[in-house]
């Protein structure tokens, strides 16, 4: 049915057509970027409500504009559900996305130039944890810890760096790390040096709520997360303060509030707040635990089958929803080629650096992929076996494509490869198999 775009079709058929094309892309492809998922129709409906019409600077009961009686109730509902889901006494649900949420933590905890510490970007960390090109590495003195040769965080290095540099703020959490985050170990390090410890759980938030990843609340002072990854909500974010955090600083919640507004943002996106409330309500239902458990089971099955097919994985497996393929056995800088070949086969992943990558970041030697969206569609271990075989076939089919050493030749080499993908018989074969699989697991049948 097309009545879900009835008004858009009448007002702007060009945009409506692009939305339909994107629905087809999502419907008939395998979404394996681990930071992406499929929101429920209820979440999508909340995002499209008349709440988008309202301005609501401030917080419930303390708004700068009139007419926020019901907006206050929506925001309070989202806050209470966040507190219940994560077992915390304080939550701010207004951050527009993950980076502003993390920026609010810096503003609340640090002064410009303070020492901060986080996992290096090339070792699976996040830009906002102190990377040099981010505000977090520009405005603060950043110290970065790394992973060991086996792909696990080097806790001894982290402890040594913390003792030597005495950071004001420490981060635990990552964007391309496939093992459980060591909250307890970092808590001990932070306590030794008197640092505030923040857990960025954007990737694993749904796994935490679902009970299949260690809970950070007993160990850290602050928790930040986006709401659209394993939580299956809208593109928003939250900052939460734990009981331990309030014991560390009783004013920490108020400082976070002040940092979010008026420190960094204006009016909240009320339609997003409503959708966050809906997603948290879904995550609090018993069946969500089954979803989270299946995400991890699928990831483990996928990783095991890939390794069995001769594809190397950083740390040789996964504890969560994602994995990082190390393509250096097939040549350095292969990530962009494998990403594009897989996209041609309707399997969406993202190129990614690997630890100690021999190639430059824009032409990395890895590919990051995961199982949250596949699991939302209802796929399980048997499907992971099929998908792993297809990915391995594409990886091996691309083995003879090499990244030129000359920088000027790289762009033209990638362009030429992309133009050839559509003519590749292996890519076409896998795409046909992917389409058949997707038809067995319809995405939004109510919209057809």
State how far the Cα of 328 lies from the Cα of 124, in Å rounded to an integer: 17
* DSSP code string of 268-292: --HHHHHHHHHHHHHHTSHHHHHHH
Q: Is 159 a catalytic residue?
A: no
Catalytic-role residue among 83, 235, 243, 396? 235
Q: CA-based angle 323:430:343, to the nearest 5?
A: 55
Catalytic-role residue among 224, 226, 227, 272? 226
What does DSSP say about strands 237-241 and 90-92: parallel, antiparallel, or unpaired? Answer: antiparallel
44, with CB counted inside 10 A (0-12, 13-18, 19+), is middle
Residue 269, token pair as written in the block: 């996106």
Q: Is 59 a catalytic residue?
A: no
Residue in 106, 108, 159, 96 with CA at minimum distance from that of residue 134: 106
Element (H, E) at 44: helix 41-47
312: three-class secondary structure by DSSP: strand
Element (H, E) at 63: strand 62-63
Q: Residues 305, 382: contact at Cβ < 8 Å?
A: no
Element (H, E) at 92: strand 90-92
Q: How far is CA 414 from CA 44, 362, 409, 419, in A?
A: 36, 11, 9, 9
Catalytic-role residue among 55, 96, 152, 444? 55
Catalytic-role residue among 28, 36, 45, 57? 57
Neighbouring CB atoms inside 10 A of 326's CB total 23
116 strand-pairing partners: 142, 169
- Phi–psi pair at 117, nearest 5 degrees: -140, 135
Q: Is 55 a catalytic residue?
A: yes
Q: Is 226 a catalytic residue?
A: yes
What does DSSP say about strands 169-172 and 196-200: parallel, antiparallel, or unpaired? Answer: parallel
Q: Residues 173, 145: contact at Cβ < 8 Å?
A: no
Residue 43, token pair as written in the block: 């979440």
425 strand-pairing partners: none
Q: Residues 104, 259: contact at Cβ < 8 Å?
A: yes
Catalytic-role residue among 54, 81, 168, 229? 229
Catalytic-role residue among 75, 123, 200, 282? 200
State how far the Cα of 115 lies from the Cα of 147, in Å rounded to an integer: 20
Q: Is 57 a catalytic residue?
A: yes
Ordered strands of the 366-370 beta sheet: 312-313, 322-326, 366-370, 350-352
State how far the Cα of 67 lies from the Cα of 44, in Å rounded to an integer: 24
Instruction: Cite the active site residues.
Output: 55, 57, 200, 226, 229, 235
């Amino acid at each position: 049915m097309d009545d879900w775009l009835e008004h858009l079709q009448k007002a702007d058929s060009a945009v409506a057509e692009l939305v339909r094309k994107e629905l087809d892309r999502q419907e008939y492809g395998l979404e394996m970027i681990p930071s992406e998922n499929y929101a429920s129709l209820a979440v999508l409906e909340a995002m499209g409500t008349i709440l988008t019409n309202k301005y609501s600077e401030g917080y419930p009961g303390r708004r700068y504009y009139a007419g926020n009686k019901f907006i206050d109730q929506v925001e309070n509902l989202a806050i209470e559900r966040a507190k219940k889901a994560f077992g915390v006494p304080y939550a701010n649900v207004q951050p527009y996305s993950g980076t502003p949420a993390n920026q609010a933590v810096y503003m609340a905890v640090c002064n410009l130039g303070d020492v901060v510490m986080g996992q290096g970007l090339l070792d699976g960390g996040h830009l906002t944890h102190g990377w040099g090109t981010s505000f977090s590495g520009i405005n603060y003195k950043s110290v970065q810890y790394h992973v060991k040769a086996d792909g696990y965080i080097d806790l001894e290095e982290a402890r040594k760096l913390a003792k030597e540099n005495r950071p004001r703020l420490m981060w635990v959490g990552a964007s391309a790390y496939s093992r459980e985050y060591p909250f307890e170990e970092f808590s001990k390090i932070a306590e030794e040096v008197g640092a505030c410890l923040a857990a960025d759980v954007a990737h694993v938030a749904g796994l935490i709520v679902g009970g299949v990843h260690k809970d950070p609340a007993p160990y850290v002072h602050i928790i930040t997360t986006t709401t659209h990854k394993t939580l299956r909500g809208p593109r928003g974010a939250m900052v939460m303060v734990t009981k331990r955090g309030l014991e560390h600083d009783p004013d920490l919640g108020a400082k976070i509030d002040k940092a979010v507004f008026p420190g960094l943002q204006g009016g909240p996106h009320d339609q997003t707040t409503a959708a966050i409330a809906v997603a948290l309500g879904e995550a609090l239902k018993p069946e969500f635990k089954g979803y989270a458990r299946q995400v991890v089971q699928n990831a483990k099955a996928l990783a095991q089958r890939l390794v069995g097919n001769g594809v190397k994985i950083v740390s040789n497996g996964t504890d969560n929803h994602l994995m990082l393929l190390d393509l250096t056995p097939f040549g350095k800088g292969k990530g962009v080629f494998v990403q594009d070949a897989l996209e041609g086969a309707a399997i969406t992943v993202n190129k990614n650096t690997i630890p100690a990558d021999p190639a430059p970041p824009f032409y990395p030697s890895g590919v990051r992929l995961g199982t949250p969206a596949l699991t939302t569609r209802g796929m399980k271990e048997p499907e992971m076996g099929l998908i792993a075989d297809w990915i391995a076939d594409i990886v091996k089919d691309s083995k003879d494509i090499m990244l030129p050493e000359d920088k000027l030749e790289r762009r033209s080499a990638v362009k030429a490869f992309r133009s050839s993908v559509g003519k590749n018989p292996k890519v076409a074969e896998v795409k046909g198999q992917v389409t058949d699989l997707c038809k067995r697991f319809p995405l939004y049948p109510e919209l057809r």
